[in-house]
Amino acid sequence: MISFLADRDEGSPWRDAGVALTWFALGVLLLWGLPELRITWWGPRDTAVTAASVLVLAVGCAGVVLRRVLAPVGLAIGTVALLAGPLWVGGTDIGTIAVFTDLLYCAVVYPPRRTSRIIAVTVGLAIAGLALASLVLQGTRLAALHLLNLVLIVGVPLLWGTEVRRHRDLAVAERERAEEAARAAERERDAAVAAERARMARDLHDVVAGRLSAIALQSEAALQPGADPELVRRVLGTVRESGVAALGEMRTMIGLLRDGGPADPPSAPARLSDLDGLVDDARHAGLTVRLDDERAAGTELPAAVELTAYRIVQESLTNAIKHAPGSAVRVRLATGRAGGPLRIEIGNGAATRPLARAPGTRAGTGLAGLAERAAAVGGTIDAGPDGDGWAVRAELPSGRGDHHDMENELRLG
């Protein structure tokens, strides 16, 4: 019990010394108040307190000072005190026995696991050896009595300490497992944040780059010397419309990054039914666009696939505006038989006007972003030169249950 209470105080360097003094005071009190509580091995049954018995108790209590920092050494000192009773004093008092049980408990609980197991096995073998010797030398009845005493004095603290050690090891393992799970969760959060940032950068490009590129190109046309005032007015009107649309799409994307209330609901993601607006914007930017929608009647596509297809067409038209101004562009959508994959083909011819030199219209990561989008829904995309122009070909799945990442992608649209 004293050991159990002392375990509550983990911070005081004087803890074990205090426990030793407590054991010594309790042992002396038992020697003085209940001297008959002792085991007499030889000699007269004198129950008077002697200097030898107090010295043996003091030696055992000295081992208690090392009960935590050097538990095996403390147990060895306690064992010496326990053996001094039958070998020197002729009797063993109850205080020395109690001190020994405390040291045995500590020697199982506190040392490293391997040392603790060695001590437990050694004590177990000692109990078995003493019981066997008693059986051979003194008969069955006395051997059973001695075995009972050994179990009470040695076996109980040994089993108690082993069980406490097991629970402590389990607690340490669970704590380490929880810490590792927390670190794994933190790594997953960091990876999710990094992936989310990459998606945000890609969506920012998809949403804004096309319209801003058109604004830059149209503004450059309006700034040419000798431009017709009516043309300038028409261009500025188109620039204003593109700017307002870009702000609206930017507002929608930012709304996805915060908690929008009932008064500020996020808009629906773009779909293929919105391609007419893209085509009109491209025509205002100087392209000649032809849209051929050859999808089978009644074809329904998952929202994530429609969003990806919309972004592919948007980025392809933006690239044509930047790199082939004034060119003819054909956009073709087809699904073939019902349930077949969606095929997208966008091809543009050679530029018919000088390339723009406006800042920010020459380089980007649009095609790489489209490849990521197509892969996210289980599709493929290919882009490259086609004669004097450029062609983009993509194939996206049309089934709803084939790709588990579709809804995640839709959320980022």
pLDDT at residue 364 in the model: 55
Q: In terms of domains, do 211 and 132 share one? A: no
Q: In terms of domains, do 252 and 364 share one? A: yes
Radius of gyration of the chain (CA): 44
Q: In terms of domains, do 172 and 245 share one? A: no
pLDDT (average), residues 108-117: 84
**Is pLDDT at 150 greater than 60 in this prediction?**
yes
Number of domains in the chain: 2
Q: What residue type is 250 in one-letter code?
A: M
Rounded to an integer, what distance in angstroms lies between the CA atom of residue 76 and that of residue 334?
A: 88
Q: In terms of domains, do 165 and 232 share one? A: no
**Is pLDDT at 344 greater than 90 in this prediction?**
yes
Do residues 56 and 90 touch, judged by C-beta distance below 8 A?
no
| CATH classification of the domain holding 295 | 3.30.565.10
pLDDT at residue 394 in the model: 93
Q: In terms of domains, do 177 and 272 share one? A: no
Largest pairwise CA distance in the chain: 133
Q: In terms of domains, do 158 and 289 share one? A: no
* Predicted confidence (pLDDT) per residue in 44-72, tens digit: 556 666 777 888 888 888 888 888 778 88
Going by pLDDT thresholds of 50, 70 and 90, the confidence category of residue 80 is confident
**Which burial class, exposed, middle or buried, applies to 264 when counting CB atoms under 10 A from its CB (0-12, 13-18, 19+)?**
exposed
Q: In terms of domains, do 124 and 228 share one? A: no
Calculate what percentage of the chain has a pLDDT beyond 90. 9
Q: In terms of domains, do 199 and 102 share one? A: no
pLDDT at residue 328 in the model: 93
**Is pLDDT at 330 greater than 90 in this prediction?**
yes
Q: In terms of domains, do 121 and 157 share one? A: yes
Which structural domain range is residue 44 located in? 2-183
Domain end residue (candidates: 157, 183, 209): 183
pLDDT (average), residues 18-22: 82
Q: In terms of domains, do 150 and 45 share one? A: yes
Q: In terms of domains, do 131 and 212 share one? A: no
Domain end residue (candidates: 155, 183, 211): 183
Mean pLDDT (the chain, rounded): 76
SS3 338: coil
Domain end residue (candidates: 132, 156, 183): 183
Instruction: Choose the weakest-confidence range: 176-190, 325-339, 377-391.
Output: 325-339
Q: In terms of domains, do 178 and 256 share one? A: no
